[in-house]
Amino acid sequence: MGQLILIRHGETEWSRSGQHTGRTDIPLTAAGEAAAAVLVPALADYHVVAAFTSPASRAWRTAELAGLADAKVDPDLQEWDYGGYEGLTSEQISLDQPGWLLWRDGVIPGDSQHPGETVDQVGARADAVLGRARPLLADGDVVLVSHGHLLRILTARWLLLDPAEGRCFQLSTGTISTLGTEHDEPVMTSWNLRPPGSW
């Protein structure tokens, strides 16, 4: 059985500043593009049979630069919709909501482009992605190029944990992580690895 290869997209201006970036389409920085390009040799050791990417340009551009130009767009790989907190940092949100924690307190509704999601709604999307990816693992490795919070929640669901347990898995931009099995049980096989030569 193959592994799930998780790639968080490269750096953007908002990821660098800590702004919540859900559905806003922010391009990669030059450093983000460079980090994506060094994923090519890192992926050469895997037997990739399928690749999927979020529709956000920061994700599909990462896939393209990583040598996965044929990755299929999967809308369920979009980042958590942060609603009215889109574009804000945790520090800014905490000014109005002292002690606010995304994983516990969630988001407030935004405009029609950012209605917001609960952690369980994001978990349901992650479950849908896993449901489509699992059968493909019989033939080799499957790459998912997506976003920090979505991939953390997806990892929790792979490990049979509640979606909010994704809070335990910090994930940096431009990294590779892998999920697999041991004795037919789901496990994490690597996490948050920066390939040699990445920024």
> What CATH number should be reported for the domain holding residue 114?
3.40.50.1240
Span 86-103, average pLDDT: 96
Query: Using CB atoms within 10 A of its CB, is residue 157 exposed (0-12), middle (13-18) or buried (19+)?
Result: buried
Quick check: 186 pLDDT over 60? yes
Positive/negative CA dihedral, 36, 77, 190, 82 = positive
CA distances from 198 to 30, 46, 60, 67 (A): 12, 19, 18, 15
14 within some domain: yes
64 within some domain: yes
83 within some domain: yes
Other C-beta atoms lying within 10 Å of the C-beta of residue 134: 13
Quick check: 198 pLDDT over 70? no
pLDDT tens figures, 34-87: 999 999 999 999 999 999 999 999 999 999 999 999 999 999 999 999 999 999
pLDDT tens figures, 110-146: 999 999 999 999 999 999 999 999 999 999 999 999 9
198 within some domain: no
129 within some domain: yes
Q: What is the distance, to the nearest Å, from the Cα of residue 159 to the centroid of all Cα atoms in its chain?
A: 16
- Crossing angle of the two packed helices 119-133 and 148-158, in degrees rounded to 10: 70
Residues classed as catalytic: 9, 79
25 within some domain: yes
Confidence (pTM): 0.96
**Residues with Cβ within 8 Å of residue 116, at least 6 apart in sequence:** 81, 82, 83, 84, 85, 106, 107, 108, 109, 110
| Encoded tokens for 158 | 């792979």
Which H or E element spans position 40?
helix 39-43
pLDDT grade, residue 197 (50/70/90)?
low
68 within some domain: yes
| Encoded tokens for 68 | 């996965």
Q: How many CA atoms lie within 13 A of 75 on its CB side?
A: 0
**pLDDT for residue 195:** 85
145 within some domain: yes
Quick check: 196 pLDDT over 80? no
Query: Using CB atoms within 10 A of its CB, is residue 14 exposed (0-12), middle (13-18) or buried (19+)?
Result: middle
In which domain, by residue range, is 162 found?
A: 4-193
**pLDDT for residue 178:** 98
In the chain, the number of structural domains is 1
